[in-house]
Amino acid sequence: MQTNYSRIIAGTMNWGSWGAKLSSSQICELIEACYSNGITSFDHADIYGDYTTEGDFGDGFKHCGIPRESLQFISKCGIALSNQERGTKLNHYNYTKQYILDSVERSLHKLKTSYLDLLLLHRPSPLMDPDQIQEAVSELINKGYIKSFGLSNFTPSQTRLMQQKLEVSANQIEISLSANSPMFNGDLDYCMTENIRPMAWAPLGGLLGKKVIPSALELAFKKLCATYNTTKDGLLLAWLMNHPSQIHPVVGTTKIERHKTAVAACEIKIETEDWFYLLAAFRGHDIP
């Protein structure tokens, strides 16, 4: 079943102890600000904040006046971090049936919700058994604990493996101007062929945090930001969203103004030559 997500998805990885360390009231304010600007989808993973950020988000969300059905909660499981409280000594992947079931129930409790709109397997494991995963996911769907199922960081061949047992509705992968290989290696082609929704983590590609970038790229930013009346982050997001696969950027900022910029970028139509101009400026050469 396809869920309607906002085109910009708010990534929560940096909301808690791994980043801004927002208080419950600040999280509530940020959720409400996102909602008022048209961002209704929130991306989580059980491991964020060393297993604490989902709980922080839930504590903030329970004070908001936004109906749960007006929002979409996404979360991931499968990475088991070394954690004394959980008794894990080594970072590893775990996709046994019971681990998946337990992970989702913990996420629901922490997020103060009765269901996830989307559950993603966080990263592929060489030991993942599609039959066990299918049993767990089917049970979660039948109980109403999750509405849909997807993947994160899976290749087309790994996705096909899962599709033998389950409907895969989304794949969250790294896509940006600086991580553009999914546009050429078949990853996005496969999503389009199979009606899988691509979601892009790190959609800015780390380009805004660099003190020095190629002069050709700096010039392209200057010209195109003026042409399309946007900022660098707005331009980078618009460049992604102009791909025909309908990429949904997962934007990890905690700044309301940057959320507004991201939403405004949804309306920017980049001319084809300008799209390739920005790509060439990053690569240092145009197409072969």
CA 49 to CA 137: how far, in whole Å? 25
Q: Are 118 and 150 in contact (CB under 8 A)?
A: yes
Q: What is the dihedral of CA 137, 103, 77, 47, to 10 degrees?
A: 170
Give SS3 for 2. Answer: coil
Name the token pair of 222. Answer: 């200057």
Q: Are 171 and 152 in contact (CB under 8 A)?
A: yes
Q: Are 176 and 202 in contact (CB under 8 A)?
A: yes
Q: Are 88 and 80 in contact (CB under 8 A)?
A: yes
Q: DSSP letter at 90?
A: S
35 given a catalytic annotation: no
Name the token pair of 159. Answer: 């996705």
Q: Residue 155: name the closest of 190, 194, 115 by CA.
A: 190
Q: DSSP letter at 66?
A: S
Q: Are 258 and 233 in contact (CB under 8 A)?
A: yes
**List of E strands, the chain:** 9-11, 41-43, 72-77, 79-80, 92-93, 118-121, 149-152, 170-174, 197-201, 248-251
> Catalytic pick from 35, 48, 51, 95?
48
Distance of CA 178 to the CA centre of its chain: 17
Q: Residue 60: name the closest of 37, 35, 33, 30 by CA.
A: 30
By annotation, the residues acting in catalysis are 48
